Structure 1
């Protein structure tokens, strides 16, 4: 493209120089020839006037007197009746420019100039025109190369940007080139880069959240299946199988919620549900794990609370808090339900050392963890709580008290 731009610019410049150069040569040729003819004629008129005045005053008319009255490179012949002709200068050969004038005393004056003089003058003019044309061509080459570089360099840069986007590097470059059309392309590429970056971030976040949210139900389901394989009591096996089916339903709910959020993050599925049922379900699911670690899980507080939210999401939040207590805490894991204003609250605490003071304000940030964990659990739990209008807070650092706040069903709605 660079060579094409240079060639097209030079072609335009050469055409313009050729058109105007030829026209200028024609005009200058005619001007020089006309000027030479006018000069010769003017000299003939002046010379015949001098001869007339000398003849009238009876002065001598000879070549020595008249030689100084004509240009040295011209030839003049004066014919006076009854006298021999007077010649001044050397008569030119070849083509000449001549002018003849007749005086009042009957004399005739003829002045001639060689066309070679006009040709020399025309040659000098052509050399000047050619020099100007050559200078214009050099300037055009310089400008064409500069303009081609100005246009092709941004295009090359934009091509590299597009290639980087295609190779998975969505960082916008924010470069502009001073050319509106190219700047518009750069704007589009930068906007595309930002959209791709947001999409990749969302996909990575979805993958991380999915792996974390699916891990807890799968772990619980695995424990129930192990309980079934280890028992010989049909009643116990039946009870564990029912719990395992509940875990499968919960796992299905988690997958469905992840798919829904990936299509439309604003879509909610909040309903009114029995908070005691969700808390009881979590205690039943985690009791084997706490028992195997020599710990206990208990529930206390106000019974019969009904909250507004997504039961599966609330279960996932409570599971994360319980798992967090088992991983980082110590002693009994306690769940307590209470009411504050128009909100139902579920508190999860244990007897461990709690959250370090330096992590208290950042405990819900992604990748922030007090031990060698992913740091996603509490961040995902807070997102789940906020998705249906609730919130998750750390009320106390030592011992740790995490509280899940949910909108509570109004009395009027409950009665209806």
Structure 2
């Protein structure tokens, strides 16, 4: 913007100088030439008067007498009846400006001046005009630079304020610049910052209150489940179901604690190095009965003994969302495939259903976007959970659907890896992965 302001200002100044400068040069040239003609004519009339007075007084008339009466660099020729012409001064060469005057006794005087004298004076005037124009341009440059700084610096500052506001720092800056329009923008940004700060404070307070209120019933539920496990020694089915329910409550407690921590300080991270196999197996064990009731199977393939960087509870929640979506919206066998790409561990979930509609492919992770009767929040929340600890959740293929969870990879203990298979042989990476 600064360059544009300087360029536009200089362009306006140059146009004004060109228009008025050319007009001034033309007017001055004509004025100088007309003045030279008038001067030559006046001198011719004056010399005729001198010659006539001398004729009346019968005084001597020659070039020596008339030479002091003529302007330097001019040439005059005096013609008197019955006498030879009298030449005064050096005769010019080239183009001249001439004027002739006649007296009452038949005498005449012709005065000539070289046109080069007029051209030299026009040239000097042109140089003066050019010098003034150059000074005007320099003054315009200085003023344009100062004006550009005065306007562009506040705009740069406002852009930094908007960027800082968009990055999550809603503190108002309360800076003003003495330009009404820019001060108005600064007022709007400060007002927006204050409103965003109030909204963020209210949201964090709500999350903290909700998380705090949930901890008490979850703790009580955990204690009741532990009592069921302790008293159900002869009922293996009840004990197994209570153990699974207790694991789910503990994971939910971790999620609530994570929400509470983020509400206090959103910059606090909880990513750790954990055993990915344990999280995946735990999810398979939880969801396998639901798949069995629907007459479908849930299988694992790919690399085993993998470790990843993240929050185990958040990763479990992401996998639970993907497995539930495959149960609700997919069909046939659901496959969870693990593999390693560079420094990342990848968990892919795919099924044999119709997949994601083409019109929802690029928007499937947006909130309130759903192809069927659902809230449309599951995948959006799952992606937020994945990204909170540096991972990401992607839709690699729409049909058959392939969702992939990318996590940071760490070396497994012992440095060995193999293939994990439950119910089927290890297969290749699903198509599109």
The bucket for the TM-score relative to the shorter chain is: 0.5 to 0.7
Alpha-carbon distance between aligned partners in 1 of 2:76 and 2:6, rounded to the nearest angstrom:
57
Match of 1:153 in 2: 153
Match of 1:18 in 2: 18
Higher gyration radius (CA):
1
Matched residue pairs, number?
233
Q: Deviations over 1:135-193 (max 9, x none)?
A: 11111122222222222222211111111111111111111122222111111111111
Match of 2:77 in 1: 77
Alpha-carbon distance between aligned partners in 1 of 2:219 and 2:204, rounded to the nearest angstrom:
23
What TM-score comes out, normalization by structure 2 length? 0.51
1:180 aligns with 2:183: no
Alpha-carbon distance between aligned partners in 2 of 1:72 and 1:139, rounded to the nearest angstrom:
41
The 5 Å alignment of 1:324-363 reads none
Match of 1:103 in 2: 103
Q: Deviations over 1:32-82 (max 9, x none)?
A: 001101111111111101111111111111111111111021111100000
Match of 1:258 in 2: none
Deviation at 1:220, TM superposition (A): 4.4
Deviation at 1:11, TM superposition (A): 1.2
1:86 aligns with 2:86: yes
Q: What's the Cα RMSD here?
A: 2.0
Secondary structure at the counterpart of residue 170 of structure 1? coil
Match of 1:57 in 2: 57
Alpha-carbon distance between aligned partners in 2 of 1:156 and 1:114, rounded to the nearest angstrom:
63
Match of 2:201 in 1: 201
Unaligned runs of 5+ in 1: 233-416
Q: Deviations over 1:299-322 (max 9, x none)?
A: xxxxxxxxxxxxxxxxxxxxxxxx
Secondary structure at the counterpart of residue 210 of structure 1? helix
Secondary structure at the counterpart of residue 168 of structure 1? coil
Alpha-carbon distance between aligned partners in 2 of 1:4 and 1:43, rounded to the nearest angstrom:
57
Match of 1:115 in 2: 115
The 5 Å alignment of 1:308-319 reads none
Alpha-carbon distance between aligned partners in 1 of 2:212 and 2:4, rounded to the nearest angstrom:
57
Alpha-carbon distance between aligned partners in 1 of 2:211 and 2:72, rounded to the nearest angstrom:
109
Alpha-carbon distance between aligned partners in 2 of 1:36 and 1:229, rounded to the nearest angstrom:
123
Unaligned runs of 5+ in 2: 233-433
Deviation at 1:123, TM superposition (A): 0.7
Alpha-carbon distance between aligned partners in 1 of 2:69 and 2:105, rounded to the nearest angstrom:
19
Match of 1:162 in 2: 162
What TM-score comes out, normalization by structure 1 length? 0.53
Q: Deviations over 1:346-385 (max 9, x none)?
A: xxxxxxxxxxxxxxxxxxxxxxxxxxxxxxxxxxxxxxxx
Q: Deviations over 1:321-365 (max 9, x none)?
A: xxxxxxxxxxxxxxxxxxxxxxxxxxxxxxxxxxxxxxxxxxxxx
